[in-house]
Structure 1
Amino acid sequence: MSDLPMLSASKMRVLRPYFPKSRGLKRVDDRRMLSGIIYVIRNGLQWKDAPSGYGPHKTLYNRFIRWSRLGVFAQIFSALTGKAGVPDELMIDSTHLKAHRTAASLLKKGVPARRIGRTRGGLNSKLHAVCDGEGRPVAMLLTEGQMSDHRGAALLLPRLPAARHLIGDRGYDSNRFRQALAERRIEPCIPSTKSRKVPIPHDKGRYRRRHKVENMFGRLKDWRRIAMRYDRCAHTFFSAICLAAVVTYWLP
């Protein structure tokens, strides 16, 4: 067990206030359980293949599913990003996450939605994300793969911090989105599409920093159970994304 990666005591002090209170019997050690969950998600393992040093794999799985249903990991992400303050600059983009056949086996409509759609690349989900000027995610949204960037941006807009600038590629160039940003006093740095008769100028120097949001997606996809979706339920998959974002960017 000593050779297995474990969360440090300082990281656990940051996370522990957001854990649900234990009721009844004393639950298994939070540090060991959370370290095991991270190990499984990062390495793309099946739960039954988790190292025995983290404890019974069924306990790891049950803890992750139960806390996902309670929204614990999403709450941790929201709380830590909220404490970071208001950034001066934001960047928005999206990426596709391919769904494994085990995730798509229960593909159906209704509530709760699976957030799996069909595109030319097959069945996948789409992660819309906004990061700050340092490349740290501050808002995320999981949708079906076929959802447009415009619609995803509209759904993310109410969650945006009150920054001064927002950088996006030309896929976000629309009058409606620009107007919505102007109402929030956010200056867009978005290149005009080729279909615009009169191009709208943008700060090319600022736009060169957009690679940070691409780098952020790359680091999240280093977690193998995020690069390939194995979870059938959208809330468990999004919880894995939130946990990866917290561990990668928001823990000391």
Structure 2
Amino acid sequence: MSDLIWLSPAQMRRIAPCFPLSHGIPRVDDRRIISGIIFVIRNGLRWRDAPQEYGPHKTIYNRFIRWSRLGVFNAIFARLSAKGGKPDQLMIDATHLKAHRTAASLLKKGLFPRRIGRTKGGLNSKLHAVCDGQGRPLILLLSEGQMSDYDGAALMLDALPPAKVLLGDKGYDADWLRAALTLRGIIPCIPSKANRTVAIPHDRVLYRQRHRIENMFGKLKDWRRIHTRYDRCAHTFMSAICIAATVIFWIDQ
């Protein structure tokens, strides 16, 4: 197949430091298996439908599940995004990801929560993100669909890197968030909600750049297993998101 995805040797060298050590029998070719994982997530396939060029589909699936539990893919994203340099500005936003019927269960039967909630749009998860001025994701957080934007911001606040300004929409117009950003030396560029008695001014010209985080979400949702959640476990779905973010924004940096 001419449309197969293959990571280059240079790309493999960038992500290899996060791979766990092999014990006993040598691992199957990392480049072939990781490329197969990317192909499945990008095209929204069932694992059994992975092209034969990537080897047995059970090997690809087992590697994805095992490394997801170890946090390997999350570590790869964190390592590469941390090398992006100090951002002058940050952008924050969130988007809903619809849960497929194979994943959409509110019953908690495992040790960890599934991060699936109910909203007026049905069962879904919510992806909160902070990106730099170029629209490259720096922080990713998966929550239940009904979590508010500012609750997600509170969970990501301690992980914010130093920056001059943070852009956010009206969903982040909260006095406590503005105060927390100011304490960190970050100027909030957030429009005021309509119910504010006294509107707080913001830089309207600078705010126009916020479309870059919307574009970032659009690029992530081009990957079909991101746009629609098929994974029941939150850690496997979050691993898929980290893989997509790494390949799209960081692996070639």
Q: With structure 2 as the length reference, what TM-score do the two structures score? A: 0.97
Alignment partner, residue 129 of structure 2: 129
Residues 96-128 of structure 1 deviation map (CA, whole Å, 9 limit, x = unaligned):
000001012473277300000000000000000
1:108 aligns with 2:115: no
1:205 aligns with 2:205: yes
Residues 28-55 of structure 1 deviation map (CA, whole Å, 9 limit, x = unaligned):
0000000000000000000000001100
Extract unaligned runs of 5+ from structure 1.
none
Alignment partner, residue 150 of structure 2: 150
Report if aligned partners of 2:106, 2:117 keep a CA contact under 8 Å in 1.
no
Secondary structure of the residue aligned to 1:14 is: helix
Alignment partner, residue 230 of structure 2: 230
- Shift in CA distance, 22/151, structure 1 to aligned 2, threshold 3 Å: same
Alignment partner, residue 74 of structure 2: 74
Aligned CA RMSD, in angstroms, stands at: 1.2
Alignment of 1:1-252 (within 5 A): 4-105=4-105, 107-108=107-108, 111-252=111-252
**Structure 2 CA distance for aligned equivalents of residues 105 and 193 of structure 1:** 34
**Structure 1 CA distance for aligned equivalents of residues 128 and 50 of structure 2:** 30
**Structure 1 CA distance for aligned equivalents of residues 3 and 86 of structure 2:** 39
Report if aligned partners of 2:37, 2:64 keep a CA contact under 8 Å in 1.
yes
- Shift in CA distance, 165/3, structure 1 to aligned 2, threshold 3 Å: closer
- Shift in CA distance, 109/91, structure 1 to aligned 2, threshold 3 Å: farther
Letter in 1 for 2:231: D
**Structure 1 CA distance for aligned equivalents of residues 4 and 201 of structure 2:** 52
- Shift in CA distance, 109/151, structure 1 to aligned 2, threshold 3 Å: farther
Deviation at 1:156? 0.8
Of 96-105 and 137-146, the range deviating more from structure 2:
96-105
Letter in 2 for 1:80: L
**Structure 1 CA distance for aligned equivalents of residues 96 and 45 of structure 2:** 21
Report if aligned partners of 2:5, 2:38 keep a CA contact under 8 Å in 1.
no
Residues 197-217 of structure 1 deviation map (CA, whole Å, 9 limit, x = unaligned):
111110011000000000000
**Structure 2 CA distance for aligned equivalents of residues 151 and 110 of structure 1:** 24
Secondary structure of the residue aligned to 1:85 is: coil
Letter in 2 for 1:216: M
**Structure 1 CA distance for aligned equivalents of residues 121 and 166 of structure 2:** 29
Letter in 1 for 2:151: R
Report if aligned partners of 1:107, 1:116 keep a CA contact under 8 Å in 2.
no
**Structure 2 CA distance for aligned equivalents of residues 129 and 68 of structure 1:** 20
Identical aligned residues as a percent: 68
Residues 110-155 of structure 1 deviation map (CA, whole Å, 9 limit, x = unaligned):
7300000000000000000011000000001000000000100000
**Structure 2 CA distance for aligned equivalents of residues 106 and 26 of structure 1:** 40
**Structure 2 CA distance for aligned equivalents of residues 101 and 239 of structure 1:** 20
Structure 1 moving runs of 4+ over 4 Å: none
Residues 166-209 of structure 1 deviation map (CA, whole Å, 9 limit, x = unaligned):
00001100101101111111100000011111111100110000
Secondary structure of the residue aligned to 1:104 is: coil
**Structure 2 CA distance for aligned equivalents of residues 201 and 180 of structure 1:** 18
**Structure 2 CA distance for aligned equivalents of residues 109 and 176 of structure 1:** 36
Deviation at 1:2? 7.1
Report if aligned partners of 2:191, 2:200 keep a CA contact under 8 Å in 1.
yes
- Shift in CA distance, 58/119, structure 1 to aligned 2, threshold 3 Å: same
